[in-house]
Amino acid sequence: MKLDDFVAVSGLSGVFRINTSRNNGLVVEDLDSGKSKFCSVRKHQFTPLGTVAIYTLEDTIELKEVFVKMKNLKETTPVVDHNSEKIVIQEYFENIVPDYDEDKVYVSDMKKVIKWFNFLDQRNLLEPSDEEE
């Protein structure tokens, strides 16, 4: 699983693959249609998924590790919908990352993680890469 290739773009739903970067923005590829689109830094903010981490009581845990846990526990603990009630999302997230820092990790952050996971998992983009195996 190589999350460094994927980016979330403010104002656009879903996750995109980075094609190339320019000094004034990024050219991103829509994962469904395969079409490329330029996103300006003046209009959008970018969140590379490879740089995201979740605060824990001790330190942080990389998003990649959270996704691996979610994928491994998918059979026993099904992934909740990101539009579920607050308490349902918190209970699910506590099963995945039991020691997350409740003061720093908000429900909106949990929703993003769940939304990103579902988006990538539905497209079979969370398979381990050859180097990881």
Phi, psi of 63 (to 5 degrees): -60, -35
Task: Kindly list the domain boundaries of the chain, sorted by start residue.
Answer: 3-48, 52-122
Going by CATH, does the domain composed of 3-48 fall within 2.60.40?
A: no
Beta bridge partners of 7: 16, 48
pLDDT tens by residue, 7-64: 999 999 999 999 999 999 999 999 999 999 999 999 999 999 999 999 999 999 999 9
Residue 25 to residue 43: CA distance in whole angstroms: 9
Residue 86's alpha-carbon distances to 34, 95, 108, 113, in angstroms, are: 34, 15, 9, 14
Number of H-type helices and E-type strands within the chain: 3, 7
Q: Which CATH number is 52-122's, of 3.40.50.1100, 1.20.910.10, 3.40.50.980, 1.10.10.1650?
A: 1.10.10.1650
